[in-house]
Chains A and B, each alone.
Chain A
Amino acid sequence: MILDIIIDGLIKGSVYALLAIGFSLVLGVARIINIAHTALYMTAAYLIFVGTKLMGLPAPLAMVASIVLTVILGLLIYNFFIKPIQEHEAAVLIATIAVAMMIQEVFLMIFGGHYLGVNPLIDGYATILGVKVTYQHLLALGLALVVLVATRMFLQKTRLGLAIRSTAQDREVANLMGMNVTRVAMGTMAVSVGMAAITGAIVVPLVTVEPTMWMHPLIMMLAIVVLGGLGSIEGSFVGAFILGFAESLVVFLVPMGSFLKDSVALSIMILVLLIRPEGLFGVSFEEER
């Protein structure tokens, strides 16, 4: 039981961390609340389903192809629907909601509301301390951690990472220092969508693929981003594991847990906000000018 909770919490936490970090990158750099973020995660999952089940591609190839296609789709959406109206905040907000709904409807049209699934990459299970853990869970956990570390390295060590961090810190000064803020925003969007797609690729064997699978991660992701402090990568990371573990604890231990999992996670978020309005790792944004 305890090990179940730990494994489940770790996987949930790292998946949410991947989503939340991608989301808060775009929020920090381009000031876009991208509701469609998890819809793109769903897109990657569906593309893998198409690749492996319908076209019979080998799984790794399907994963790479789906990630690339999703990133292209994300950039197209950004370029055609979000960039032209970027200075109108409310309009951007509902544009992303509308995009998410369109993606959902497209998949509903093509595949119907059926619950679909993808075969695990590797079968079998290991027995750790007397608990059966499938290799797929371990693989997902490992991959998620690798991607998290890679993201960290990317943000800290590369020039684009530096540009992203500085633009998030102060857009205007970054512009004055000669960074092409529009290009940086574009790059951030690509990285962010890429992370969403990778997350989708990692978890797709563990979840059911259906047109509303983006809703629950979206809510958890938003809660995590607020809990950790907007725009803070560490905050998103810590927040993701707190809420991931909270969710799996509630699901495993509390009666009616699966109904209450969202409620408990979000209540934790609100309690933290009551004590620290800027979130756990709140970097206070510069006053909006």
Chain B
Amino acid sequence: MGLLGVYFRRTVGILRTEVLVLPSRVAVLVFIVALMALPIFTQDYYFLRVLILTSIFAIFAASWDLLSGFTGQMNFGHALFFGVAAYVTALLNLKLGLPPYFSIPLGAVGGVLTGLIVGIPCLRLKGSYLALTTLAFPIILTGIVFAIPSITGGELGLAGLSRLTGSRVMDYYLTSGLMLILGFTMWKITDSKTGIILHAIREDELAVRTAGVNTTRYKLLAFCMSGFFAGVAGGLYAHFMRLAGPSGLEVGLSFQVIIWAVFGGMVTIYGPIAGVFILYPLMEILRIVLDQFPSLPEIRMFIFAALVLLTLLFMPEGLIPWVRDKIETECPRCKVRNVFSRQRCRICDAALD
């Protein structure tokens, strides 16, 4: 009992000194608690479905940020990883009968291999060349998918995968839990030594090479890691929808993930996750609201595009960094973040402006 008390007090201590001092950390805590506690209040089938898809796409958007935001390897064809992993997962599940907890990781390995295959030709390219070249890969694959319908199911895709888990609530906990774990992992990766090198490659690749770092290896690593996380998202999607089809390779999906990530704020990992959690449910709400007015033409995507455009006009850095800069200031001396209302830094007591 006494030991439990010690742990409890320590947790509370960490909460008070590390989490509750910053609004952004409080927001993350509230978000996690709300996400985990949600099925207690509602188990609505449709509602959970929206949130499951949101979680899957959040993993996907964050993986784009890891590659394109942090490493600066602008990827216009991120749907490739998603689609390949979905197809690999579906084939393993349907042809070999592997259960989801084997087929999804193996699908993610498929994503890693795709990252390698795409990464090697792309290593020599930079900037706009890279962006436009990566756009090509999913389109090439779509053509192949359509040309060999005996394996890939052609236009209809592969349907009838086994369910993710037995129930919708379990599906929800699996996807949202994985989203939190993988999101945290990605955030930790960007915070680690590797992450710093990736960050430096984006800022100035030549300087990093001069410093004796094998940038080629790190760029390939970024492609593979991004492919892995996107692959997990693709596998989850295939098993949840019980379908792997060419829609997972569409140009539209690649653009969509860029919109989510840039809207939320690039180079943050949590920005893209927040972007998906704002935009995806919003679109579903809009669908429900607009269904009340059947006389209106289909204006959902129009509103979506207009919203993104207007947000960017006022916050070109993305939504989350903008909000973060409003509610927090960085200490000029020790670079620790503080609430905007503080006059002096909470660590070093320097005056904040």
- A contact set with B: CB distance below 8 Å: 27, 33, 35, 81, 84-85, 87-88, 90-91, 93-95, 97-99, 101-102, 104-106, 108-110, 215, 219, 222-223, 225-226, 230, 256, 259-264, 266-267, 269-270, 273-274, 277-279, 288
Contact = CB atoms under 8 A, between A and B. Distances in A.
Given A33-B131, A269-B133, 17 more contacts: A81-B313, A90-B266, A93-B262, A95-B309, A95-B312, A99-B309, A105-B302, A109-B298, A219-B136, A230-B129, A260-B144, A260-B147, A262-B140, A263-B143, A263-B144, A264-B143, A267-B140
A88 B267 CA distance: 13
A266 B139 contact: yes
Interface residues of B, number: 41
B305 A101 contact: yes
Nearest to A104: B301
A230 B302 contact: no
Nearest to A103: B305
A109 B135 CA distance: 28
Contacts of B132: 33, 222-223, 225-226
B86 interface: no
Interface string B258-299: 110011001000000000000000000000000000000111
A215 B313 contact: no
B127 interface: yes
Interface string B123-162: 0110111011101110111111011000000000000000
A13 B121 CA distance: 26
A262 B258 contact: no
Interface centre among A105, A108, A219, A267 (most CB of B within 10 A): A105
B314 to A, nearest CB: 9
A104 B302 CA distance: 9
A223 B255 CA distance: 17
A35 to B, nearest CB: 8
A270 B262 CA distance: 27
A95 B307 CA distance: 11
21 contacts: A33-B132, A85-B312, A87-B316, A91-B312, A94-B258, A98-B259, A98-B306, A98-B308, A109-B302, A219-B136, A226-B129, A226-B133, A260-B147, A262-B139, A263-B140, A263-B141, A263-B147, A264-B143, A270-B140, A273-B129, A277-B129
B251 interface: yes
A214 to B, nearest CB: 11
A91 B310 CA distance: 11
Contact of B128 (A27, A97, A262, A263): A27
A90 B262 contact: yes
Contacts of A110: 297
A273 B121 contact: yes
B171 interface: no
Ordered nearest first, which 5 A-B pairs have the shortest CB separation? A263-B143, A266-B136, A259-B146, A105-B302, A88-B316
B138 to A, nearest CB: 10
Contacts of A274: 121, 124
Contacts of A27: 128
B328 interface: no
Contacts of A225: 132
A105 to B, nearest CB: 4
B277 to A, nearest CB: 18
A218 to B, nearest CB: 8
B259 A94 contact: yes
A256 B147 contact: yes
B115 to A, nearest CB: 16
B121 A270 contact: yes
Given A81-B313, A215-B251, A105 B305 contact: yes
B128 A91 contact: no
A171 B7 CA distance: 61
B312 A105 contact: no
A123 to B, nearest CB: 35
B68 to A, nearest CB: 8
Contacts of B312: 85, 91, 94-95, 98
Contacts of A98: 259, 305-306, 308-309, 312
Contacts of B313: 81, 84-85
Contacts of A93: 258, 262
A222 B132 CA distance: 6
A88 B127 CA distance: 14
A273 B143 contact: no
A91 B299 CA distance: 23
B330 interface: no
A195 to B, nearest CB: 19
Given A90-B262, A267-B140, A102 B309 contact: yes
Contacts of A84: 313
A97 B297 CA distance: 22
Contact of A262 (B143, B297, B304, B308): B143
